[in-house]
A and B are shown apart, each in its own frame.
Chain A
Amino acid sequence: MAWITFNRIYAGLIIVAVVSAMIAPKPFSDKARAQIQRIFMPITYPIHTVASVVSRRISPQAVEVERSGGGPRTYQEIADENRDLRVEVANLTAQLRALQEVNAERELVGPLREFCRPLRVTGNDTGMRRALLVQGPVQGMRAGMAALYPGGMVGKLDRVGWSGGAQVQLITDRGFRITASFGRFSENPRHFQELGSLRTLFEGDGRNGLVCGILSMKQVRDAGLKEGDWAVVADSDYPTALQGYRLGLVKAIETSREGLEVARITVRPQEDLLTLREVMVLVK
């Protein structure tokens, strides 16, 4: 009798799992999930921290370095400052354009950090998706808000729980889509030049980049897009303050396998986003 009862209960559990996995909408389960991840923080956080440090040492990311005068500062400090300034200039350029168009929201001009709240990364997705588990003061945060790091955009909040747990879907996740435009710095390092009206939809490649396969090679050639250019946010789903914020650098422009004249553009974030230890969420 007990045997039959267990089988029935277990069959019920399997049906619930199938319905939840295949039919039930995702937000249905998200509220509960964001609370549970806090339980695992005592083990995931130290492991993630150690693994990130080791990972960065084993495969250090290439850092853009500019030759701008000598001084007592270290090479790394200058590189970091350059990176921050470039992100800020690109961001401000696009912001300024948008502000001129709408003639409002002047208060948004300024370093984006003022509008951000930091969250600590405690782990990664346990499946095959690209996501970060984050922990911190999440009051006022909601799903869809953008997460940033000094090198650009990290992704968006996927779910937020009242216990301080949240999950950030990375821009490199296969389910992440965002519209981007392109630009580059001219000889004047303070001048960010946008490349015409070239805008396109990017999708995470599930590895460490974003890909676009809908522009023609002619469009790419006409715009003068080349490797090393910046891909920046140009998506109306995100606030004005985020427009022009860096997604990454154009790593490759190839002819797509599917079509002879279709360009496959790959964009890489400056760092491996899985190794980040802190992200900033744009809350205003």
Chain B
Amino acid sequence: MARPHIEPFVDRSIDFKRFTLPGFSKGMHYKMLSLDNGTGACTMTVKYETGYKQPPGMSYTEVEILLMSGTIKYGKETFRPGHYLHIPPGVAMPEMKVSRAATVLMMYNFAEPSFVESDEHHRLAMPGQLTSVNAYDDIQWQPSSGAIYPAVAPGCMLKVLKYDPLTEALSFLYCMTPKFWQDNISYHDSAEEAYHIWGTSHMMQFGELPTGGYFWRPEYINHGSFSSELGILAFGRTDSKLHNYFHWNPWTSPEENRERAAAQLARQRPQLFKWAKSPDGHNHPHDFEYPDAKNNTHYI
């Protein structure tokens, strides 16, 4: 079972709850934004009390963290708002201390939240894939036309934080300028989630999404047109390639949208499409460049 379609949801509308799962220190509070009841993967707004401490340790799943307010110290490094961490599974992080009450967006992407005290990486961990960057200060905005075709309208810009070369899954900071508008309806082959750090945007289907607004949207669901009166700052994430299918029929279903996407594939890569649809059902993708991809990513 995948995550249900949660859109729109505003985390300001609910209270924080104490987070008391095994392994985690006391002083952590959460608001559940979306949850996969099959795998336990979830996205939460998390608040750490001033003085919160967590010993060195690791999670069994990939974790992404965006610091939205407060200050967090990991070992000797102090992180300020805008700091983004992508922690691969099994990578041990140093001791964590919260010197000033902090709020983070926290994503356990492929399994339930876990924390195991350890000052060593798990034997299967790939610490070289750890990302630690201040998304506000260390990266500049780029127009999405440099990364995605067809692209969103000018005025919606990106900072790519995580790019999975096998699946093309993306995590990114994005913004809309004041008076931004884009008149089309979009859908993707990927699930998409986003959280408004600041500001209000408007989507034709779902109305206004203010500060603290969130969505988890499964693949092929219509969204847009889009606009923002005063602009927004937000975090977004997809679970595979973000391709924009634009159209203007607001009544199409996810099934119709998927059929349209497949029709585009059939037109654009007819030989691959013919092979993949394999009437006898015996064709299986195999990538000689990444023969172990099936075991090492979530994408098949």
**Chains A and B are bound partners:** no
